Structure 1
C-alpha cells in the first residue's frame, strides 16, 4: 500500500502535517493583507466614488458601527450552514457505503440521487417555504441538498477504491468484516471522502445565502438584500467578506481535521514536504 506510512511514523506525520498546515496558512494571510492594501490604495489613487467601490477602511468603519446586528445575523447564517452541512455528512457517508457495496442500491438509488442533484435548488427553495414556512427548516434543507451530492459521490468513489488484493489478504488472516472495514475500507476511503467534504463545505455557505435570498427575515443573506436595496455599498462589501470568512472557517476546519486524521496519506506528506522546502 504505497500511500500509507509505517505505523510508527503516524504520530510524527500528524505533527508534521499540522505544523505544515499552519505555516501554509501564514502565506495566505500575507496575501490577503496585500490584497486589502492594494484595494485601499487603488480607491485612494483613482478617486473612485465610495458608493461604487468603498475602500476597506470605510467598509471596516461601517461594519463596526453596526457590529451587533450584523453578528447576530451572522450567527443565524452560521447555524444554517453548520446544521445543513452536518446533516449532509450524516446522511451521505452511510448511504455512500451502502451504495458502494450493494449492486441493487447502486442501480436503483444512485440515478435518483443524480436526478435530484440536477434540479436547480433555487427553483425548489420556494417549495420548501410553502411546506415548512419561513423558519429554520427550509434553509437547512437547501444547505443539505447543495452539500449532499459532492460528499456522497466522493464517498462512493472512496469506498470503491479499496485494493481487492488487500481485502483478500485480510480474509486469509481471518479478519472479521468489522475489522476489515475499520482497518482497511474506511482508512482507504477517507482521502476521497475528505475531498467531497471540502467541496460540500465550500457550497454550504452559498446554499445558506441562496435560501435567505428566497425568503427570510434574518441572516446575512437577508441583510445583503437590504443593504443592496439601500445602495449601502460599504455594508454590502462587509457582509460579503463576513460570509466568505464563515465559508473559509468551515472549509479550513475540514482541512485541518483531514490533516490530523490522515497524515499518512501521500497528499498530506507531499504538502508537508513542499511547505518545509
Structure 2
C-alpha cells in the first residue's frame, strides 16, 4: 500500500542508528585499550562507567532536581508554544504584530540572557525551570506555526461549501494536518528543555547535573564530567524517543523515521 513502511525497512531505520552508536562506543573503548589518550583527556567508556558507579549516590541525588527542571521546561514550553501558535494562526493581525518579536527574541544568546533570570528570580530551581521553558519555547512556536499555516485549497473549498466555522476548520483539517510539524517541535523541545535546565545550573546553582559538571571540571575529574554529561544525554534521548514512538503510533497516516528520507 502506498505510504506504508515495511517492517524490515522500519527495523533498519532503528537498527542502523543504534549500530552506528555501538560502533562509536567500541572505537572509543579501543582508544583506551591502546592508551591513545590519557584519562584526563578522553577516558574510555569503561572508566566513565566505573566512575559513575563509584559516585552513583551523588549523581542520582543531583539528577532529580535537573529532571524536575527538564519536566517543567518541557511541559511549559510545549503548552505555551502550542497556545501561542494557535493564537498567531487564528489572528493574522496578532501574528503580524507578535511573530517578529518572537523571532527576534529567539536570536538572543541563551547563555548571555540566562543571568537575567537568575538576577530577577534568584538562583533557586524556579529560575532554572524558567530558563528551560524559555529556551525550549521558541522551537515549539516556530514549528507549530509552520504546520498550522499550511493550507489545502481543495479542503478549504469543501469547508466553505458546508459553511464550516473557523474552529471546525481548525479541529478537523488544520490541526490534524499540522501534527507532524507539532511533533517535530516537541522533539526539539525534548532536547532544548535539557539544555535550558543545564544552562541555568551552569549560571547559578548548588545542585543538579550542571552544578556537578562544573565542580568536576574544577577538580579535573574528567570521568565524572562524562558520567554527568551521559546522564543528560540519556534524559534527552529518552524524551526524544518517547515522542517519536507516540508520533509513530498517533499519526498513522504518515510514516515517521529517525533519519530524514
Match of residue 71 from structure 2:
82
Corresponding residue number in structure 2 for 1:172: 161
Distance of 1:126 and 1:115 partners within structure 2 = 19
Distance 1:231 1:71 in 2: 21
Distance 1:118 1:57 in 2: 40
Q: Could you tell me the TM-score, scaled by structure 1's length? A: 0.85
| Length, aligned pairs only | 259
State the alpha-carbon separation in 1 of the partners of residues 10 and 58 from structure 2.
Answer: 34
Superimposed CA distance per residue, residues 179-219 of structure 1 (whole angstroms, 9 cap, x where no aligned partner): 33222111011111122222222222222111110000111
Q: Structure 1 residue 224 and structure 2 residue 189: aligned?
A: no
1:236 and 2:225 are equivalent in the alignment: yes
How large is the Cα RMSD of the aligned pairs? 2.5
Q: State how far apart, in whole Å, the 1-side matches of 2:60 and 2:17 are.
A: 24
Query: Among 60, 78, 93, which residue is 1:104 paired with?
Result: 93
Q: TM-score, normalised by structure 2?
A: 0.89
Unaligned runs of 5+ in 2: none
Structure 1: stretches of 5+ with no match in the other structure? 6-12
CA distance in structure 2 between the aligned counterparts of 1:209 and 1:140, rounded to whole angstroms = 10
Take 2:77 and 2:63, find their aligned partners in 1: how far apart are those partners? Answer: 21
Name the CA shift for 1:222/1:40 in 2 (closer, same or farther; >3 Å).
same
Native 8 Å contact 1:162 1:184 kept in 2: no
Q: Which residue of 2 aligns with 1:9?
A: none
Map of 1:1-277 to 2, 5 A cutoff?
Answer: 24-265=13-254, 267-268=255-256, 271=257
Say if 1:101 and 1:163 are closer, same or farther in 2 by CA, change over 3 A: same
Greater relative contact order: 1 or 2 (C-alpha under 8 angstroms, separation 6 or more)? Answer: 1
The question of whether the paired residues in 1 share the 8 Å contact of 2:159 and 2:169 is answered with yes
